[in-house]
Amino acid sequence: MLYSEIVMDHFRNPRNVGEIENPDGVGEVGNAKCGDIMKIYLRIEDDVIIDVRFKTFGCASAIASSSMATEMIKGKSVQEAAELTNKAVAQALDGLPPVKMHCSVLAEEAITKALNDYLGKKGRPLLPERNQNQLAHDHGNR
């Protein structure tokens, strides 16, 4: 099997699938040309992420990355969530094949975008975002 057991578990039983009505933050990244689109919804109270949901069009790695990333930021503060890296997501999944590392990058970016949506509404400084065009097929990590 191409994927680790953890990836397959999150693919078969994705956590936090769905939408949040009137979310405090929402971020969508990726494009159909590359075969991956991720959309993250956040519910934030007192700067703490109390609920997070996702919808993803993509391969098993993309779905597992979305699922794991949402698990990793749930209950965390905005500041803590902002520090989540794609590398941490990939490590939590017990690794991704090199050609699939871009899925973890997309998960990180979707969260950043959703957090920025929240921060922007609050009139607070935004987090730096990666360039989507450069990221689309970025197979590396950081």
Partner 1 sequence: MNGKVYMDYAATTFVRPEVVAAMMPYHSISFENPSSLYSYSDGNRRAIEEAREAVADLIGALPEEIFFTGGGSEADNWALKGLAFSRAGKDKRHLITTETEHHAVLHSMDFLERMGFRVTYLPVDSEGFVSIDKLKEAIRDDTLLVSVAFANNEIGTIQDVEAIGKVCRDRGVLFHTDAVQAVVHVPIDVKSMGIDMLSMAAHKFYGPKGVGALYVKKGIRLENLIHGGGQERSRRAGTENVASIVGMGKAASLASEEMESDSLEICKLRDRLIDGVMSTIPHTRLNGPVGDRRLSNNANFSFVGIEGETLLLDLDDAGIAASTGSACASASLDPSHVLMAIGLSHEMAHGSVRLTLGRSSSDYDVARLLEVLPSIVEGRRAMSPLWDDYMARREVL
Site string for partner 1, 49-68 (x = CB under 8 A): -----xxxxxxxxxx-----
User: Among residues 78 and 110, whose Cβ is nearest to partner 1?
Assistant: 110
User: Is 87 an interacting residue with respect to partner 1 (CB under 8 A)?
Assistant: no
Tell me how far, at minimum, the Cβ of 83 lies from partner 1, in Å: 26
The nearer residue to partner 1, 42 or 62, going by C-beta atoms, is 62
Q: What are phi and psi of 43, to 5 degrees?
A: -115, 120
Q: Of 94, 85, 92, 93, give the one whose Cα is nearest residue 140.
A: 85
Q: Is 59 a known active-site residue?
A: no
Stretch that binds partner 1, among 27-35, 71-79, 81-89, 111-119 (CB under 8 A): 27-35
Of the residues 96, 103, 107, 135, only one is catalytic, namely 103
Burial of 71 (0-12, 13-18, 19+ CB in 10 A): middle
Nearer to partner 1, 39 or 113 (CB): 39
Q: Which positions from 97 through 136 interact with partner 1, judged by CB under 8 A?
A: 99-100, 102
Kindly tell me which of 1 and 123 has the beta carbon lying closer to partner 1: 1
Tell me 98's DSSP state. Answer: G
**The two three-digit tokens of residue 85, written as one number:** 């890296």
The candidate with the shortest Cα–Cα distance to 37, out of 140, 139, 135, is 135
Residues 6+ away with beta carbon under 8 Å from 80 = 73
Just list the catalytic residues: 34, 103
